Homo-oligomer: A and B are copies of this chain.
Amino acid sequence: MKELKTMNFAFVGLGLMGGSIAKAIKQNVFESGTEVFKIGTCPAATSDSEKTSGKIFAMDVNEESLLKALNDKIIDERFSPLETDEMLEKADFVFICLYPKATLRFLLEHKEAFKPGSIVTDISGVKTLIAEKIFGEENSTSEKATQNGQSSVWRDDVDFILGHPMAGNEKEGYSGSDGKVFEGRNYILMPQKSNREENLCLMRELITKLGIKRIIETDYKTHDHKIAFTSQLCHVIASSLVDSAEDDKITAFGGGSYEDLTRIALINAPLWTELFLSNRKELLSMISSFEGSLSKIKNAIETENAAELNSILKSVREKRAEMGKI
């Protein structure tokens, strides 16, 4: 059984998310004295204090980020884009922390460079785009589907695990990264038939060490459906709410609600443009559904229907209170 502490981690992209994960791994895997623990049916690690400690590598187009991370003693070695394959050959656990399309492109372009037996994971906020190209038209709840003629293009000896940490902040780049952003958050895994149970165990163990509260395991289509609502729709709403403000002095009249609803409108425009368009159908359907609820409330206000309005708000309060319990 592999042990996290002895593995070499590699980051493809050391921005906000890559930097945050690298910091959390540095602190919680390499620096903490916590014992490796057994989760569910995972095999116990073979204790061997003689083993060499693993390292953290990173590649990024931004050399300054790499130098800063080296200086922060978060990474042990930096690689330029041209040295990518050299890094991948030495890495046991690769985190691809790029935008969705770039993640797919990277996987396909560097497929042959990954070390045999290594674990590769991504953090992309949309999955169908990537999963259908890599694994073929399969999802974890159905048999290997071939009706569209697509089948897996992935290597059997490199285990690619689809993952999505539901955390972040409104900053950008390595300088905004923070190893604490995962504490108390959700992490979604979309295990595929090809994933090895041993590697999924290691992935779960690593995620737990990041401080994550809950690991959700689902298929990638469900992921894209749910995320269209909890994440993308919220960013669309927050952006609309800022766009519709009559001026940028409005927060002088704020009581916290407007500020809370629009914090995520401090948005990374190119990333979210790509996320919105990559999950277009699901997102459009969620926007329509939200518009329906908004219309219902608007209509009760327009017609001065106090009983109806009170009844909607009462059931909303109950539903939201229920949500707080899980």
Residues in chain A within 8 A of chain B (CB atoms): 166-168, 185-186, 188, 214, 216, 223, 226-227, 229-231, 233-246, 248-258, 260-270, 272-274, 276-277, 280, 283-284, 286-287, 289-294, 296-298, 301-302, 304, 306, 309-317, 319-324, 326
Contact = CB atoms under 8 A, between A and B. Distances in A.
The 8 nearest A-B residue pairs measured at CB: A166-B255, A269-B313, A243-B293, A226-B253, A244-B293, A240-B293, A248-B322, A234-B257
B246 A231 contact: no
Interface of A is mostly: helix
Contact of A317 (B265, B293, B315): B265
Given A242-B320, A266-B321, A284 B298 contact: yes
Copy number in the complex reads 2
A263 B260 CA distance: 9
Given A229-B250, A239-B313, 5 more contacts: A186-B255, A236-B301, A243-B293, A245-B323, A276-B301
A252 B217 CA distance: 10
Contacts of A253: 166, 186, 188, 216, 223, 226-227, 229-231
A122 to B, nearest CB: 16
